[in-house]
Chain A
């Protein structure tokens, strides 16, 4: 076998701390290496051309590129060797950037390590076999999880592209956080006026099936063929019959139910429709507060309902949907502001969150759009906004910036002045982060046109004094302590990963970071893809985002799905398990351990044998390490290949030549 080794400088990324030339020289001494050279940028066009040229000139059978992580450029170079006429699996990568040059400064040690990694790749490559992918049919339906603005956008774009869409929303209406907002920055557009029509489009689109009050219970399968179980929670109302007239809400005697839509400012009726523009506009019953469900008597809604839609006996149901791709748009939740005890959130009635304040501003909110203090219903005169509550603070394990709080605080300050011209707003901030189109101009307007007083510094404490509150903090620009009398304190709470995000990630088999935000495939170049084929991300589930970015990501994820579904068949990865019939004893252990049901028993001349269904096999190799016979081998990661790598490190020591 003739192998070519190409050692990449990656500019100075690798060559800065690895002697690239001597890595190539040492590689040439390895058995079966027929050609070795160093190259400035292996992934560049001249770099790739040089590889192709060398393959042709030296009649190479396989190629090793020592450069960055295979997670980055393995697909690139596979295409390169394919262009030169080789099978794309006759290729290995040695990761001498992320695993060598970037993590150590000792050039000699790095060079030795790089030489070893190249030797390992060569050892593995000598046992690589040509592999050919199979094709399989795909189900061109898409599941969108989460009905916020990102999910709505993704669902509409997919549906407009001709795909059947299943949209699953946890709460009883789509709309997400955006539907709770009164206005949006920096245009001060009415939020429900721009979101509402989109929500109606979802309801009316012939290609969209909407499951509200539902959650994804289980996901089986793989790209092109997922099977999803959806739990449809009991709403105690037959939604097919309910017309959303709201008569039940008027008559319901139990008025202490948690008003989640209004961020629990006040309470609502046990049977309710969360807000006038809700989609679907259907009533549901809160079983904790319904008198009929808790005490067995009442049933007023049943009597008044003109369509007899009330079903007290309703149980949770499970729906099954088959889809080919999944877009996750599960959004974010708010930081628990009561953790900052010094601000008194949760203890003082007039210390509220920014989203609660948004509901006070909203004409469809609990106060009808009049700003009233929750404690006594009076109009506030001095409103203090405290920024970065649960953002950029290591002490509460939220070191990241939530991104949009500076902007919505400026918006709320402007709206406060609009609603109450006599009022005065104060903003305690750390830095103003307004890096969007017309964003900085907007915060300037809040200060200059609307007279909002911005005080740079953290608040130390909030305490009541009479019917007012004293906000004490530092003004770091003045170098002085300041005290502001406030009628209302609004905490700009940061975003955190949605509750249950890790649990959903486990079902989808995608990764999440330390805070529960989902991991994209590449932070720069694959922002809406995950490392699980067929699963895409949109919106704040990947990290805090404002509305334009979320909408952009929703469209981006939809575009990815439409591109994926542009073919009728997908190619399966041929790095799958293969059974050696002669060695297989038919014990069936691999069938039991396979997480995908990709192995079946077959009859071979009267004897039971294992058989791998290639298009279902995902290439984990669990069967290979389970088989007592070594009869089932994961292609490209066979026992012999991994042991060859072990031997390259342990026995043969090319690095010692350098000493």
Chain B
């Protein structure tokens, strides 16, 4: 994978069991080659995803977070992805306020039959994260800030 010739980055994926996890399985069964940076966490529904999961990942050193659920109106639990969509959209706008580049977070809808689409999603997102490079580490920033404060005193 071209995006991966350098060192791997940490990308966390939260996928709903019924659609996107199935879509990732379909991509696997179809042998659609993908970059290896992504680690997938399976959740029952995109509505189960607390925005704090995404933030925790990014705070703890993930370079990117990808969330994927069923297409709107196709939720296995009828309306879970509508809740997800609202929460994740708010989260996306909130990330810059926290000093996190919002491009490090993306959410998308992939159904269980869309193996090819899943491959494209993974490839595009991984390439984007590699363009952004490793996320600035929180402790390093803190250290610099603390040093600057110490200098000022």
Contact = CB atoms under 8 A, between A and B. Distances in A.
B38 to A, nearest CB: 8
A213 to B, nearest CB: 26
Contacts of B12: 646, 649-650
B67 interface: no
Q: Which 6 A-B pairs have the closest CB atoms?
A: A98-B28, A621-B48, A650-B60, A620-B77, A513-B113, A622-B47
B73 to A, nearest CB: 5
Interface in B84-114: 87, 111-114
Contacts of B70: 511
Contact of A620 (B10, B31, B48): B48
Given A620-B44, A649-B62, 20 more contacts: A70-B42, A71-B21, A71-B25, A99-B25, A103-B27, A103-B28, A103-B31, A106-B1, A109-B36, A113-B39, A117-B40, A511-B70, A512-B111, A519-B113, A531-B112, A620-B45, A620-B80, A622-B77, A646-B56, A646-B60
Contacts of A116: 39
Q: Chain B's interface: helix, strand, loop or mixed, by majority?
A: loop
The interface centre, meaning the residue of B12, B32, B40 with most chain A CB atoms within 10 A of its CB, is: B40
The interface centre, meaning the residue of A99, A593, A651 with most chain B CB atoms within 10 A of its CB, is: A99
A593 B31 CA distance: 38
8 contacts: A103-B119, A109-B4, A509-B77, A618-B77, A622-B47, A637-B43, A639-B50, A642-B41
A309 B33 CA distance: 65
A649 B57 CA distance: 9
Nearest to B61: A650
B127 interface: no
A531 B50 contact: no
Contacts of B77: 509, 595-596, 618, 620, 622
Interface of A: 69-72, 95, 97-100, 102-106, 109-110, 112-113, 116-117, 120, 505-506, 509, 511-514, 519, 531-532, 575, 593, 595-596, 618-622, 624-626, 634, 637, 639, 642-643, 645-647, 649-651
Given A646-B57, A651-B61, A593 B83 contact: yes
B66 interface: no
Given A98-B29, A511-B111, A643 B40 contact: no
A120 B13 CA distance: 12
B36 A113 contact: yes
Contacts of B35: 104
Contacts of A626: 83
A595 B78 CA distance: 7
Contacts of B29: 98, 102
B121 interface: no
B31 A102 contact: yes
B25 A69 contact: yes
B5 to A, nearest CB: 10
Nearest to B117: A514
B41 A120 contact: yes
Contact of A120 (B39, B50, B61, B75): B39
Contact of B34 (A103, A112, A519): A103
Nearest to A639: B50
B69 to A, nearest CB: 11
Contacts of A513: 111, 113
Nearest to A119: B39
A103 B47 CA distance: 27
A508 to B, nearest CB: 10
A526 to B, nearest CB: 13
A104 B114 CA distance: 18
A622 B77 CA distance: 9
B24 interface: yes
Given A514-B113, A622-B48, A645 B36 contact: no
B36 A98 contact: no
Contacts of B80: 595, 620, 622
Nearest to B45: A620
A105 B8 CA distance: 15
B28 A651 contact: no
Contacts of B60: 646-647, 650-651
Contacts of A620: 44-45, 47-48, 76-77, 80
Contact of B43 (A106, A505, A642): A642
A619 B16 CA distance: 12
Contacts of A514: 113-114
A97 B28 contact: yes
A574 to B, nearest CB: 13
A511 B112 CA distance: 7
B103 to A, nearest CB: 19
Contacts of A646: 12, 41, 53, 56-57, 60, 62
